[in-house]
């Protein structure tokens, strides 16, 4: 167990190394660049003997295709990016989903459509959780809200990616990526995964094909139905969330990432003034923790969804709650964070108007 004062992006890089990362394919983009920079520094060091490949690609498209190639051999492979780069990654992620190649893609979400800016936003929520690329598929999406989770989520993400042979995404935001906090790394060995599907040459066995073209409609139908069944399985088994003071809460804030930390402060301040507030934080954004949230919604509570976008997670919250009139939304855009005062004021307004 080592305690370190570390930046979010660096913690993620070390977390991946300690999870047994084999290969990283890089295309730098702010605010995620410390991830490849940290890995470039550690590449070749004796501390991480599993880490065999660090390679800077010529584009995001090239990087994600390298990830697919490397991962098709059964290796633990990761790439990281941000906003505009994540758009380009969608091509490869659709193929990886179709071909059931386990990969890990990190998106340190920045602000705005287009080039935007380098501040935190959560506007890539739809893109990450609803497929993102062409065709129908799902990523497994984890949302860290601390530097500690940046360090521990790569292990969890690889574990889920290999268990389900599916792309996993760590959806951080510019704030968590750049934040510095004390963290501890647990001393545990990297997980080992069986990869009987890998394409490593047909020596003494039937050859393996990792393909995504199924011209025969029945064959494509079977492939898509198989994927659907897999997503249902993931949905049933992997929903993760954290609840804070929700048991007796009249108003429950729903937030993830950096906003969930702001909302915790809001909850504490409201509790001090006698308002029974609580916080529900989805940890997996996909599968979205519908089960836990639906359970909370059985009591007649209000839910305030606070997010750094024009309202994306709020649709999942409304689905879980079932009664849209009990769901409010507080949004902030452009790389800015709402203040706790602002969140409290907006909440009071909405409660008054409800």
Q: How many angstroms separate the CA atoms of 150 and 158, rounded?
A: 13
Between 187 and 206, CB nearer to another protein: 206
Q: How many angstroms separate the CA atoms of 304 and 296, rounded?
A: 13
Residue in this structure with the two tokens 């011209």, named with its chain if needed: 215
Between 21 and 285, CB nearer to another protein: 21
59 secondary structure, DSSP code: S
Q: Smallest distance, Å, CB 12 to another protein?
A: 21
> Would you mind telling me the total number of residues written for the chain in this entry?
354
HSE-CB of 79 using CA atoms within 13 angstroms: 33
Q: Smallest distance, Å, CB 165 to another protein?
A: 14
Q: Smallest distance, Å, CB 67 to another protein?
A: 6
| Adjacent-strand bridge partners of 303 | 252, 327
Q: Smallest distance, Å, CB 167 to another protein?
A: 14
Q: How many angstroms separate the CA atoms of 332 and 342, rounded?
A: 10
Sort residue 112 into left (φ over 0), alpha (ψ -120 to 50) or beta: left
Between 74 and 335, CB nearer to another protein: 74
Between 142 and 168, CB nearer to another protein: 168
Calculate the CA 309 to chain-centre distance: 16
Between 59 and 221, CB nearer to another protein: 59
Residues that bind another protein (CB under 8 A): 22-23, 25, 52-53, 55, 57-59, 61-63, 65-73, 75, 77, 91-92, 95, 99, 199-204, 207-213
The two structure tokens encoding residue 32: 């995620």
Q: Smallest distance, Å, CB 278 to another protein?
A: 45
């Amino acid at each position: 167990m080592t305690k370190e004062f570390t930046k979010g992006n660096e913690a993620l890089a070390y977390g991946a190394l300690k999870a047994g990362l084999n290969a990283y394919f890089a295309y730098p983009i702010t605010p995620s660049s410390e991830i490849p920079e940290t890995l470039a520094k550690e590449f070749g060091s004796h501390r991480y003997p599993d880490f065999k490949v660090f390679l800077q690609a010529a584009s995001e498209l090239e990087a994600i295709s390298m990830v697919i190639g490397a991962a098709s051999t059964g290796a633990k492979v990761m790439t990281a990016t941000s906003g505009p780069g994540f758009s380009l990654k969608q091509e490869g992620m659709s193929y990886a989903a179709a071909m059931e190649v386990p990969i890990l893609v990190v998106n340190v979400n920045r602000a705005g459509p287009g080039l935007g800016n380098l501040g935190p936003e959560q506007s890539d929520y739809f893109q990450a959780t609803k497929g993102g690329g062409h065709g129908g598929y799902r990523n497994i999406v984890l949302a860290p809200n601390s530097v500690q989770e940046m360090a521990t989520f790569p292990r969890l993400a690889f574990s889920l990616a290999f268990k389900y042979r599916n792309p996993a995404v760590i959806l951080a935001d510019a704030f968590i990526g750049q934040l510095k906090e004390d963290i501890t790394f647990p001393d545990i060995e990297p997980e080992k995964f069986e990869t009987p599907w890998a394409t490593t040459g047909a020596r003494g066995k039937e050859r393996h094909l990792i393909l995504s073209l199924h011209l025969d409609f029945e064959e494509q139908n079977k492939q898509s139905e198989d994927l659907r069944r897999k997503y249902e399985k993931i949905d049933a088994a992997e929903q993760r969330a954290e609840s804070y003071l929700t048991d007796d809460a009249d108003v429950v804030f729903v937030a993830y990432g950096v906003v969930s930390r702001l909302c915790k402060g809001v909850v504490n301040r409201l509790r001090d003034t006698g308002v029974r507030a609580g916080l529900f934080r989805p940890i997996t954004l996909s599968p979205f923790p519908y089960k836990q949230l639906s359970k909370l919604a059985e009591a007649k509570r209000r839910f305030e969804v606070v997010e750094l976008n024009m309202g994306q997670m709020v649709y999942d919250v409304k689905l879980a709650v079932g009664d849209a009139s009990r769901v409010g939304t507080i949004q902030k855009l452009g790389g800015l964070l709402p203040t706790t005062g602002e969140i409290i004021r907006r909440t009071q307004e909405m409660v008054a108007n409800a």
